Amino acid sequence: MNNSNNTNPRNSNWSLRVDGKTALVTGAAGGLGQSFTRCLLEAGATVIASGRRREALESLKSEFPEHANRIHVVTMDVTDEASVTEAFDTMADGVGIPDVVVSNAGVATSKKALDVTGSDWDRVVDTNLKGCWLVCNEAARRLSAMNKGGSLIMISSILGHRVAGNVAPYAAAKAGVEQLTRSFALEWARYGIRVNALAPGYIETDLNRDFFASEPGQKMIRRIPQRRLGQAEDLCGPLLLLASDYSDYMTGSTLVVDGGHLQSSL
């Protein structure tokens, strides 16, 4: 029996586009957030770039003059509930509540577990885990009140699946993000809200480039089955899949993008 539906545009056009969608990217001012913003803009979305530093967000916006009418900025501290609520109020009064949320804001610390302080723990866990909780909860609350579905994308890490030395708070937070993804997916499927995670492996950035050029960094790269670092662009396709209607039947899933690193032997 042929169940194909020729009226569905996805059957004839497999381009990963997100035209007509409004996407919020947290932590947009630096790192992967900039790449996610660019990816979504080029795929047709209206993008709300958020972060704590207004000047950095405005600088990011100026990099996309060809998309000036589809990129907006809003300041938000993901660890502060009042700041998150205020940011969503601003969005509601302006461009509208986003139907795609990329919960990307994150920080890390590199210390032995015995040297981690309470303030270190709070900074890392509050940003990476509590931030996801606050932002996605606020988005889901507003989308469900509008009877509108959406796609919430948690940025996790392969360190949510396996561990490395000197990153205990970060690994714990990312493992929490994985469970939060599944918990939200279970509860919010009835509202048409999908919640999935994207788990990058080691991605080359300005912050880690010098380390990976060193001998310890090269040794780590040799542990990756593809024998290379990921590039920010390697995350674009998986991100667009989760943001687009092609993943309508996906919720509670994690897409791992790591060059096979999780499959490397212990």
To the query of whether residue 246 is one of the catalytic residues in this protein, the response is no
Report the distance separating Cα 127 and Cα 78, nearest Å: 7
User: In the structure, what pLDDT confidence band is assigned to residue 14 with cuts at 50, 70 and 90?
Assistant: low
CA-based Rg of the chain, rounded to a whole angstrom? 18
Torsion of CA 109, 35, 75, 141, to 10 degrees: -90
Report pLDDT digits (tens) over 94-122: 999 999 999 999 999 999 999 999 999 99
Closest CA to 128 of 146, 153, 105: 105
User: In the structure, what pLDDT confidence band is assigned to residue 12 with cuts at 50, 70 and 90?
Assistant: very low
Closest CA to 124 of 167, 164, 155: 167
Report the distance separating Cα 181 and Cα 153, nearest Å: 8
Average pLDDT over the chain reads 93
Kindly name the residue from 170, 191, 246, 249 that is annotated as catalytic.
Answer: 170
pLDDT in the model for residue 57: 97
More confident residue, 257 or 14: 257
Report pLDDT digits (tens) over 35-51: 999 999 999 999 999 99
Could you write out the DSSP letters of every residue in 213-257? HSHHHHHHHTTSTTSS-B-GGGGHHHHHHHHSGGGTT--S-EEEE
Report pLDDT digits (tens) over 16-39: 999 999 999 999 998 899 999 999
DSSP 8-state code for residue 66: G
pLDDT in the model for residue 4: 42
Residue 72: CB partners within 8 Å, gap ≥ 6? Answer: 46, 47, 48, 49, 61, 94, 95
3-state secondary structure of 28: coil
Report the distance separating Cα 132 and Cα 126, nearest Å: 9
CB of 72 closer than 8 Å to CB of 48: yes
pTM (predicted TM-score): 0.93
3-state secondary structure of 165: coil
The tokens describing 33, both together, are 């957030």
Closest CA to 33 of 5, 2, 73, 66: 73
Report pLDDT digits (tens) over 131-155: 999 999 999 999 999 999 999 999 9
Report the distance separating Cα 234 and Cα 77, nearest Å: 27
Closest CA to 24 of 44, 42, 48, 40: 48
Report the distance separating Cα 212 and Cα 221, nearest Å: 8
Helix (H) or strand (E) holding 142: helix 131-145
Average pLDDT, integer, range 1-15: 49
